[in-house]
């Protein structure tokens, strides 16, 4: 009897497509603003992140019920934005997923980083691939649960800086924990 009850409970939890316990879903104490691209010269802060299961970067061989997620946020101390695409959001909660630009080289793709600070503009330098990892906490239903989740990023990338007629490249760390709301 107890074995049957246990199997029923675990089967029902598996059908939930994620945490199984909705109280474990969501961003927890992650702040709405908490992701920063920073160096000694500049800090660009991002937040107000939302995810959408739009299948913009589908992964070959992904389970049929897994749809890739796009995550977008805005610069909160300027006029920029940041965009990620996650081909396998079902793996996001399992620890450090690699950051990169292309699906063949990354579990979490950095699509765009744009910012403005100190009378300069910044844009992702795609000639220098990002490094590092990203992970999720409270990820349920492959990132589509209305409760959202927390995204943790620990990486580095290069930004093309334009200050008037001067254009150069700045290396920044990209890191922090931020709440992501599901659309």
* Residue 87 confidence (pLDDT) above 60: yes
- Residues above pLDDT 90, as percent of the chain: 80
Domain ranges, ordered by start, for the chain: 2-182
DSSP H/E element including 3: helix 2-15
Give the global pTM.
0.87
Q: What is the pLDDT of residue 23?
A: 65
Q: Average the pLDDT over 146-156 and give the result.
A: 97
Contacts of 167 (CB under 8 A, 6+ apart): 160, 161
The chain-wide mean pLDDT, for the chain, equals 89
Q: Name which residue leads in pLDDT, 14 or 149.
A: 149
């Amino acid at each position: 009897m107890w074995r049957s009850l246990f199997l029923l409970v675990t089967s029902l939890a598996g059908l939930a497509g994620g945490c199984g316990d909705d109280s474990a879903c969501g961003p927890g104490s992650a702040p709405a603003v908490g992701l920063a691209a920073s160096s000694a010269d500049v800090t660009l802060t991002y937040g107000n992140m939302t995810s959408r299961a739009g299948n913009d970067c589908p992964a070959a061989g992904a389970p049929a019920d897994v749809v890739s997620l796009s995550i977008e946020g805005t610069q909160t101390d300027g006029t920029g934005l940041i965009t990620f695409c996650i081909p396998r959001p079902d793996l996001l909660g399992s620890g450090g997923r690699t950051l990169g630009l292309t699906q063949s080289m990354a579990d979490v793709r950095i699509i765009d980083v744009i910012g403005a600070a100190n009378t300069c503009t910044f844009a992702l330098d795609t000639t220098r691939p990002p490094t590092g990892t990203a992970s999720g906490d409270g990820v349920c239903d492959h990132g589509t649960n209305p409760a959202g989740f927390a995204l943790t990023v620990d990486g580095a990338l290069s930004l093309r800086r334009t200050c008037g007629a001067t254009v150069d490249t700045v290396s920044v760390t990209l890191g922090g924990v931020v709440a992501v709301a599901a659309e």
